[in-house]
Structure 1
Amino acid sequence: MTWFESFILGLVQGLTEFLPISSSAHLRLTAAFADWHDPGAAFTAITQIGTETAVLIYFRKDIARIISAWSKSLLNKEMRGDHDAKMGWLVIVGSIPIGVLGVTLKDQIEGPFRDLRLIATTLIVMGVVLGVADRLAARDEQGAKHRAVRERKTLAELGVRDGLIYGVCQAMALIPGVSRSGATISGGLLMGYTREAAARYSFLLAIPAVLASGAYELKDAGEGHVSWGPTIFATLVAFAVGYAVIAWFMRFITTKSFMPFVIYRILLGIALFVLVASGVLDPRAAASAG
């Protein structure tokens, strides 16, 4: 991998990690369109450490409060009813599905799941799911203004059942094209949470899963499967760009619909099918990790 490739891939990672359009799919597609080697699941996991570091800094006050309350609740029974203490446990519970499936499906994640036809399918299908969830949220928000329906839920109402459902949704993002934020936000909206609550919990839930995945994949870098210099550079680029994207996205969702992302996903998926069917792109193009 050249330094230029690492810069572009780091830029793509930072731009797409927090938007509901799938960073892993865009890294895969960038390599395919540019006729580069597929950066691979290890490169993706390591560069995500950069974007998750951006999450740690952006949500540092929330995270510090949650860790403090959770730690105190281990020894103080009275603290176990505290909202922040419960959030700590819910993030742990919600991280179980992706941890189990990530280890179980490792070979598929690094191989068959990176087929462009599967990516095109997941882009379209999850785009439709996000669109439906967004329309339901918009309908409820409008109805709540006229007291025709109950107001949408906040994170204060999050329980173990919903936390596990969030976790299952996040685990679906092991398939490139699904999108970690897209799946968890869609799940949250379908369960009746506000856009802001769904997005905030999506970001918090991703922290342990992404950091653990990145740490696990660091051994491949040490074994020479990933170039250290370019990978670290890409991770730094992803961090800087990712932080700016988080700040923009959290403002965007308070007043805007997810429909632009829905349309983009569907059009990109259709374009991929056309390019593969016409022979312009091999569905396994550049499939060997470099």
Structure 2
Amino acid sequence: MEVIALLVIGAIQGIIEWIPISSSGQILILLSKITGISPGLAYEYSLALHLGTALAALTFYRKAISQALREVNYSLKFRNPTSLLLTVTPACSFLVAAPLFLLIRLQFQKLSADEITAIIGLFLIATGLISLRSSSMKRVKYISNFSLKEAILLGIVQGLSIIPGVSRSAITIALLLGLHFKSEDAFNASFIAAIPVTFAVGLFETINIASPTIIAGILTAFIFGLIAMKGMIMISKKVKHHALLILLGTIIIASYIIALILQKI
């Protein structure tokens, strides 16, 4: 595969990994169209590029992660919510994603889950409109209140994102916003929870592909991933809760339409 193509696709991966559209689905389509490789191989390359975005998240949240690791004691009592996001959540994600991942690799046919992401987009828009008049939405929760039950639920939902077309960011952020977490905290929790899973999957596929050219894509995914994360956190701080829901829903619907167009080209 040409290095230039991987550089471009890696940059795109770095950006869309952290916004609520399916990066695996979109990158898969681009890889197939630009390089002419099979959908199965394109799927493996799209997952390998996640190593770059995982490293970007590790860099971005290095202080929070370091603090969380220091506060985990031997009795496995998680005093820091970040500890839950880095252990319990990915463990649950693995239990859900592992069988789905094997099934997709063995019997990959087409992107059939884009509709799920589109439905999530409609749900976010509807929730945003409802929250305009809902006083209950004012009772926001903070990441400091993150519980074991919520960590497990987040992990289960995140595991479904292994399916091409299902956006990890969309379903996890939608869940956290639906649980009334503060917008900024919802984004941070979603991004931190992604680190173990995306790192493991990305590293596995990078080793499996064993091609020096994939490093080029991973590098650009890392650089643009850092930029995208900072941008999304800034947006979450400035945009009101209901407006953010509507904005994210609109982005998801738009990405679904773009995916349909790409498939027909």
Whole-Å separation in 2 of the counterparts to 1:171 and 1:81 = 22
Report the alpha carbon displacement of residue 52 of structure 1 after superposing the two structures with TM: 1.2
* Bigger shift: residues 239-248 or 98-107: 98-107
TM-score by length of 2: 0.86
1:99 positional shift = 0.9
Q: Which secondary structure state, in structure 1, belongs to the residue aligned with residue 141 of structure 2?
A: coil
Q: Is the 8 A contact 2:131 2:137 kept in 1?
A: no
Q: Per-residue CA shift, 1:44-82, capped at 9, x if unaligned?
A: 222111111111111111111111111xx216x9xx473
What SS does structure 2 have at the residue aligned with 1:239? helix
Identify the residue that residue 222 of structure 2 maps to in structure 1: 239
Question: How many residues are treated as equivalent by the alignment?
Answer: 259
> Which of 78, 87, 93 pairs up with 1:92?
87
- Show the 5 A alignment for 1:251-270: 251-256=234-239, 257-270=244-257
1:128 aligned partner: 122
Distance 2:214 2:262 in 1: 29
The answer as to whether partners of 2:143 and 2:185 remain within 8 angstroms in 1 is: yes
Partners of 1:275 and 1:51 lie apart in 2 by 23
Corresponding residue of 1:156? 144
Task: Give runs of aligned pairs for residues 54-203 of structure 1, distance below 5 A.
Answer: 54-70=56-72, 73-74=73-74, 80=77, 82=79, 84=80, 86-110=81-105, 115-116=110-111, 118-135=112-129, 143=135, 151-203=139-191
Describe the shift of the 1:231–1:190 C-alpha distance in structure 2 as closer, same or farther (beyond 3 A): same
| AA partner of residue 121 (structure 2) | G
Question: Deviations along 1:223-263, whole A, 9 cap, x unmatched?
Answer: xxxxx222100000000011011111100111222434422
The one-letter code matched in structure 2 to 1:124 is A
- C-alpha change, 1:28 and 1:137, in structure 2 (3 Å) is farther
8 A contact 1:155–1:201 mirrored in 2: yes
Q: Which whole-Å CA distance do the structure 2 matches of 1:260 and 1:112 have between them? A: 35
Amino acid paired to 2:237: T
Cα distance in 1 for residues equivalent to 2:15 and 2:123: 22
Q: Which residue of 2 aligns with 1:285?
A: none
Range moving further from structure 2, 171-180 or 244-253? 171-180
CA apart distance, 1:273: 4.7
**Contact (CA 8 Å) 1:130, 1:182: kept in 2 or not?**
no
Secondary structure in structure 2 of the residue aligned to 1:105: helix
Check conservation: 2:101, 2:162, Cα contact below 8 A: no
Matched, 1:250 2:250: no
Deviates more, 1:171-180 or 1:240-249: 171-180
How far did 1:109 drift?
2.7
Q: Which residue, out of 195, 200, 205, partners 1:212?
A: 200
State the distance in 1 between where 2:25 and 2:19 align: 12
SS in 2 for 1:5: helix
Q: Cα distance 1:150–1:104, how it changes in 2: closer, same or farther (>3 A)?
A: same
Is the radius of gyration larger for structure 1 or structure 2? 1
CA distance in 1, matches of 2:154, 2:221: 25
Q: 1:137 touches 1:192 (CA, 8 Å); kept in 2?
A: no
Structure 1 residues 127 and 156, CA, compared in 2 at 3 Å: closer, same or farther? same
Cα distance 1:221–1:61, how it changes in 2: closer, same or farther (>3 A)? same
Question: Deviations 1:15-53 (Å, cap 9, x if unpaired)?
Answer: 100011111111022134436324533322221111111
* 1:191 Cα deviation after fit: 1.3
In structure 1, C-alpha distance between the alignment counterparts of 2:7 and 2:67, rounded to whole Å: 35
Unaligned runs of 5+ in 1: 223-227, 282-290
Q: CA RMSD in A?
A: 2.6
Q: What is the rounded CA distance, in whole Å, between the counterparts of 1:36 and 1:195 in structure 2? A: 40
Q: TM-score, normalised by structure 1?
A: 0.79
Distance 1:164 1:133 in 2: 23
Q: d(CA) in 2 for partners of 1:32 and 1:42?
A: 11
**For the Cα contact (< 8 Å) 2:20–2:248, is it kept in 1?**
yes
Contact kept? 1:42, 1:217, Cα under 8 Å: yes
